[in-house]
């Protein structure tokens, strides 16, 4: 594994020719989040992802960035899209609130802790600000310790909790209440 000083890469906007690698990154990210290393992606899902990603590449308020090594290998990806929220309050008038949603973040295991994601985030934040979105939003699983450490170190603080329960657990609790 290269040292931080020796790890060379550029960060650029993703292109059509990157699509197969991006699908590979997304598949491995899904397996990583699910904690399940043995599943293989269905062919129809691979095709669907290719179509979705292709449409993202040409959208003005969406940006996929990749980090690329000097030999051409892609080391990681990150995605941001601008979310416009029409103001719902009388007093706010026609003001549209804009946030930037970050998703699909992946860095190849051998190149982690080398600043690759930090460099990609710089591009994503710049893109958000260019679109006048001054708030960045993302979700991560609490069990994903490296993600939690990364987001915390980069200034993100949890603002909500997604909770889940089996219906039978909730039924049991309800059964104990009058
Ligand atoms: C999360 C992830 C994208 C971070 O990418 P990265 O290129 O390694 O991140 P960076 O090198 O830019 O690290 C930035 C900072 O985050 C923190 N950090 C990153 N990984 C960490 C880890 N495993 N443990 C503790 N801190 C960590 C550190 O403060 C680090 O700065 P430092 O190395 O100077 O101390 C990468 O670990 C990854 O791809 N994980 C699997 C996919 C994933 O979980 N994606 C996020 C889903 S929400």
Please identify, by atom number, the ligand 1 atom nearest to the C-alpha of residue 153. 29
Residue 169 alpha carbon to ligand 1 centre in Å: 35
Residue 139 alpha carbon to ligand 1 centre in Å: 15
Burial class (CB in 10 A: 0-12, 13-18, 19+), 46: middle
Quote the tokens at residue 17.
């020719």
Considering only CA atoms, which residue is closest to atom 32 of ligand 1? 113
Candidates 112, 3, 116; CA nearest to 67 is: 116
Considering only CA atoms, which residue is closest to atom 19 of ligand 1? 150
Whole-number Å distance between alpha carbons of 171 and 149: 35
Q: What's the number of domains the chain is made of?
A: 1
The whole-model pTM stands at 0.92
For ligand 1, residues with CB inside 6 Å are 29, 32, 105-107, 112-118, 140, 144, 146-147, 149-150, 153
Tens digit of pLDDT for each residue in 129-158?
999 999 999 999 888 999 999 999 999 999
pLDDT at 146: 94
Domain that holds residue 109: 10-138
Tens digit of pLDDT for each residue in 11-68?
999 999 999 999 999 999 999 988 877 788 899 999 999 999 999 999 999 999 999 9
Q: Is residue 42 part of a domain?
A: yes
Average pLDDT of the chain is 93
CA atoms within 13 A on the CB side of 125: 9
Candidates 57, 18, 23, 14; CA nearest to 42 is: 23
Q: Is residue 117 part of a domain?
A: yes
**CATH number of the CATH domain containing 64:** 3.40.630.30
């Amino acid at each position: 594994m290269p040292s931080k000083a020796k790890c060379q890469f550029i960060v650029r906007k993703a292109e059509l020719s990157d699509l197969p690698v991006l699908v590979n990154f997304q598949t491995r990210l899904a397996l990583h989040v699910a904690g399940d290393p043995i599943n293989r992606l269905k062919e129809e899902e691979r095709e669907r992802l290719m179509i979705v990603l292709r449409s993202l590449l040409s959208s003005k308020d969406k940006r996929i960035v990749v980090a690329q090594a000097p030999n051409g290998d892609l080391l990681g990806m990150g995605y941001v899209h601008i979310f416009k929220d029409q103001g719902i309050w009388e007093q706010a008038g026609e003001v549209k609130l804009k946030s930037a949603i970050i998703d699909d973040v992946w860095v190849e295991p051998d190149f982690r802790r080398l600043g690759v994601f930090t460099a990609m985030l710089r591009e994503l934040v710049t893109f958000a600000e260019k679109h006048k979105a001054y708030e960045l939003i993302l979700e991560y699983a609490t069990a994903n310790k490296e993600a939690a450490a990364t987001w915390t170190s980069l200034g993100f603080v949890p603002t909500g909790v997604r909770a889940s329960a089996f219906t039978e657990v909730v039924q049991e609790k309800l059964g104990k209440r009058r």
